[in-house]
Amino acid sequence: MFAARREHLERVIWPAIAAGQVVLCDRFTDATFAYQGWGRGVNLSWLESLEQWVHGSRQPDLTLYFDIPVNLGQQRLGPGRQRDRFEREQADFFERVRAGYLDRAAHDPKRVRVIDGARSVSDIQRTLEDLISTY
**CA pair distance 62, 115, nearest whole angstrom:** 12
The domain 26-48+58-133: what is its CATH number?
3.40.50.300
| Of the candidates 134, 15, 41, 53, the residue with the CA atom closest to the CA atom of residue 29 | 53
Q: Where are the domains of the chain?
A: 26-48+58-133
Mean pLDDT lowest among 24-28, 46-50, 51-55, 99-103: 24-28
User: pLDDT tens digits, residue range 110-129?
Assistant: 999 999 999 999 999 999 99
Q: Which amino acid is at 84?
A: D
Q: How confident is the model at residue 92 (pLDDT cuts 50, 70, 90)?
A: very high
Taking 90 as the threshold, does the pLDDT of residue 78 lie above it? no
pTM of the model: 0.87
Taking 90 as the threshold, does the pLDDT of residue 56 lie above it? no
| % the chain with pLDDT above 70 | 100
